[in-house]
Chain A
Amino acid sequence: RKEVEQDPGPFNVPEGATVAFNCTYSNSASQSFFWYRQDCRKEPKLLMSVYSSGNEDGRFTAQLNRASQYISLLIRDSKLSDSATYLCVVLNYGGSQGNLIFGKGTKLSVKP
């Protein structure tokens, strides 16, 4: 089983739609969780951290379910500029020297 698994998509949605991405991780000792965004032919950039209580940043909401080892990202009122690949990321302290483990990403395409 891969350490971090995501549905690769693509998710094709109209502007204004709400879309949700899911991610599962295999290491129950994982301690920190993130969503990164990667635009086409660009480097990944941190979108938001994911906290146990869930957190929101504008139109973006991240949730963590430790019991199910599951992370989600919800995007409301999608914009054309949200088109990108979203990477689920897990940080394992004390494991592989604190390396971030990246999922392969979920591609989102928002259409007019």
Chain B
Amino acid sequence: QVQLVQSGAEVKKPGASVKVSCKASGYTFTSYYMHWVRQAPGQGLEWMGIINPSGGSTSYAQKFQGRVTMTRDTSTSTVYMELSSLRSEDTAVYYCARALSGGWYNYWGQGTLVTVSS
């Protein structure tokens, strides 16, 4: 069965970086795009960007351009999302979600809480 398993919760200081992983199993890793979506406490869902695990190409939301980097490791079927220059407003649950290119997300990771606090 398809599973997306994310890394554990993180606490970071303002200005630091965080790298969240998402390990995929149960399907051909390179056949589906992976998106990252975040959700601040009590708030809605915000799309951050997409990575094509096949070639590694990425597209990021303009809001995060210059601060976010999405990468993948095909040997371990894992995608990564690194967010730098963290500020308190980046406190959120970060999700990876699988889709066919741009599209609907039929599988989600369990979420990773990133807390930014001094």
Q: Do A and B come from one complex?
A: no
A residues near B (Cβ < 8 Å) are none
B residues near A (Cβ < 8 Å) are none
